[in-house]
Amino acid sequence: MSTSQTTAARDAVAGIRTRPLLRIRNVAKNFGKNKVLRNISLDVAEGEFLTILGESGSGKTTLLRIIAGFESASAGEVWMGDERLDRQPPYRRRVNTVFQHYALFPHLTVEQNVAYGLRVAKRPEAEISSRVAEALGKVKMSAHAKSKPSKISGGQQQRVALARALVNRPRLLLLDEPLSALDANLRRQMQVELKSLQREVGISFIFVTHDQEEAMVMSDRIALLRSGELEQVATPREIYSRPSTAYAAQFIGHTNLLKGEVREGISRCGPLAWQTSLPDGPVLLSLRPENVRLAAENTVLSNSVRVRGKVLHQAFHGATELIRVDCGAGLVLVVRTSGSNGALDTVDLEFSAADAVPVRESPERI
């Protein structure tokens, strides 16, 4: 991220402490016996791009629908500013949604779709025309203003859905996996466009996705949801380098999950041992593959852990390579290096002990 974006993210995080836009307090949702959401508390800052990240069944869409007003929470409250948001029907909330399958009105043109919210609010015609034109311009769909939704492509429909939501100048925009139906290249392009659009417009976005890469690229903060509870809420960098649980470590990016034991200041894991200040007891460590290096013969880093192993598999990814190494005593490490190695057989690996981050085990959720 560039410096200005880092600053913006930091401001967003700081903004929460001053005056959050949206406050979700102890929200729970049950469908019959099924506890889809349990005790969710979360703040969203003004102008922040927050992603709710989770697998299918994690409850992320349900949470979004509660904020939008299409479901009501079984317990808890949602506040926007000084008002209870969850007491209001969806058509009174200053919140707009971009639906997963766009939900464009098939009997209205692109223009009429975008104008819908303004028409319903009975804004004057002149204002409607200019705002609609502006919104269409922002999403680059001005040329298609008079087309019907069935005549434009999926990517174009998505932009129209975006314009239709934004034209109403909501305080909060909700996006329910809007990019999931697009192919990979278009998706990457839209990620960039969405992010810059959000910066430009300056309103808070809550973005729901199951794609962790997408979450990392776009968000100021990520809220990782698992089985209806928040696993971790942090900036992408923080969640990546300091995951709080094993699930977080594994869900976002690749990791090596090392099971070990600490006794009298020595951390032991398979054939490895190193000094540590962690307390005694069993320990779970997350070690990112890029933090494990192929050791040069005669370099020794301070506080580095070395091990020799046999290469099981090399997966070439173009710019990088993932190498699986059997280090003996049941330990297999995955190493990410640049892609310029030839075929390897036996390798020396090293990593810095500080890069083995302790993580909790995530509790079972019934």
Partner 1 sequence: MFSRTYKATVTLPPLLWVTAFLLAPYLLMFCYSFWSVSASQSIVHSWNLDNYAQLLRVEVYWQTLLRSMWIAARVTVFSLLLGYPLAYFLSFYAGKKKDLLYQLVIIPLWVSYLVRAYAWKTILGSDGVLNTLLQYVHLTKHPLEFLLYSPFAVVLTLTHIYTPFAFLPIYAALEHIPRNLVEASHDLGATPGQTFWKVIFPLSIPGVLAGATFAFVLSLGDFLAPLLLGGPSGIMISNIVVSLFGAAYNWPLGAAISLCMLVLVVSLLFFSERLEKKWSFS
Partner 2 sequence: MEFLVSDAKLVSGSRWLLLHAVAVFVFLYLPIAVLILYSFNAEGVGGFPPHHLTLDWYRTLFADGPIWDSVLNSLQVALAAMAISLTFGVPAALALERAQFPGKALFRRLVLLPLILPGIITGLSLLMLFNVTGTKLSLMTIVLGHGTALISVATTEVFAGLQKLDRAQEEASLDLGANYWQTFWRITVPNLKLPIIGAALLIFTLSMDEIAVSFFLIGRDNTLPLEIWGRLRRGITPEINAVSTIIFLFSLIAIVLWYRLRVRGEATSEAGMELVEAVEGNAS
Interface with partner 1 (CB under 8 A): 68-70, 89-92, 95-97, 99, 101, 103-107, 116-117, 120-121, 148, 150, 164-165, 168
From the list partner 2, partner 1, none, partner contacted by residue 72 (C-beta under 5 to 8 A by kind) = partner 2
Pairwise CA distance, residues 307 & 296, whole Å: 12
Binding characters for partner 2, 72-101, by CB under 8 A (x = yes) = x----------------x------------
Instruction: Report the candidate in 27, 10, 137, 9 with the shortest Cα–Cα distance to residue 72.
Output: 27
Stretch that binds partner 2, among 70-78, 244-252, 256-264, 304-312 (CB under 8 A): 70-78
Which CB, 26 or 72, lies closer to partner 2? 72
From the list partner 2, partner 1, none, partner contacted by residue 168 (C-beta under 5 to 8 A by kind) = partner 1
Which CB, 87 or 365, lies closer to partner 2? 87
Q: Give least dist CB 357 to partner 1, A.
A: 41
Q: Is residue 176 within the footprint of partner 2 (CB under 8 A)?
A: no
Which CB, 49 or 102, lies closer to partner 1? 102
Which CB, 74 or 241, lies closer to partner 2? 74
HSE, CB side, 13 Å, CA atoms: give it for residue 201: 26
Stretch that binds partner 2, among 45-53, 64-72, 120-128, 278-286 (CB under 8 A): 64-72
Stretch that binds partner 2, among 66-74, 95-103, 226-234, 341-349 (CB under 8 A): 66-74
Q: Give least dist CB 72 to partner 2, A.
A: 5
Per DSSP, the three-state class of 122 is coil
HSE, CB side, 13 Å, CA atoms: give it for residue 234: 15
Mark residue 93 as left, alpha or beta (left: phi above 0; alpha: psi -120 to 50; beta: remaining): beta
Stretch that binds partner 2, among 42-50, 69-77, 120-128, 357-365 (CB under 8 A): 69-77
Q: Give least dist CB 106 to partner 1, A.
A: 4
Stretch that binds partner 2, among 4-12, 65-73, 165-173, 222-230 (CB under 8 A): 65-73
**Which spans in the chain are helix H?**
3-18, 60-68, 110-120, 125-138, 154-166, 184-201, 212-218, 236-241, 246-251
Q: Give least dist CB 83 to partner 2, A.
A: 16
From the list partner 2, partner 1, none, partner contacted by residue 164 (C-beta under 5 to 8 A by kind) = partner 1
Helix axes 154-166, 184-201, angle to 10 degrees: 10
Opening angle at CA 110, ends 105 and 111, nearest 5: 115
Pairwise CA distance, residues 266 & 250, whole Å: 25
Q: What does the block give as tokens for 1?
A: 């991220």
Q: Give least dist CB 62 to partner 1, A.
A: 14
Pairwise CA distance, residues 265 & 101, whole Å: 55
Mark residue 52 as left, alpha or beta (left: phi above 0; alpha: psi -120 to 50; beta: remaining): beta
Q: Residues 36, 38, 41, 44: what is their CA dihedral angle, to the nearest 10 degrees?
A: -10
Pair 164, 132: CB distance under 8 Å:
no
From the list partner 1, partner 2, none, partner contacted by residue 71 (C-beta under 5 to 8 A by kind) = partner 2
HSE, CB side, 13 Å, CA atoms: give it for residue 15: 21
From the list partner 2, partner 1, none, partner contacted by residue 105 (C-beta under 5 to 8 A by kind) = partner 1
Stretch that binds partner 2, among 67-75, 76-84, 119-127, 276-284 (CB under 8 A): 67-75
Which CB, 77 or 348, lies closer to partner 2? 77
Residues that bind partner 2 (CB under 8 A): 70-72, 89
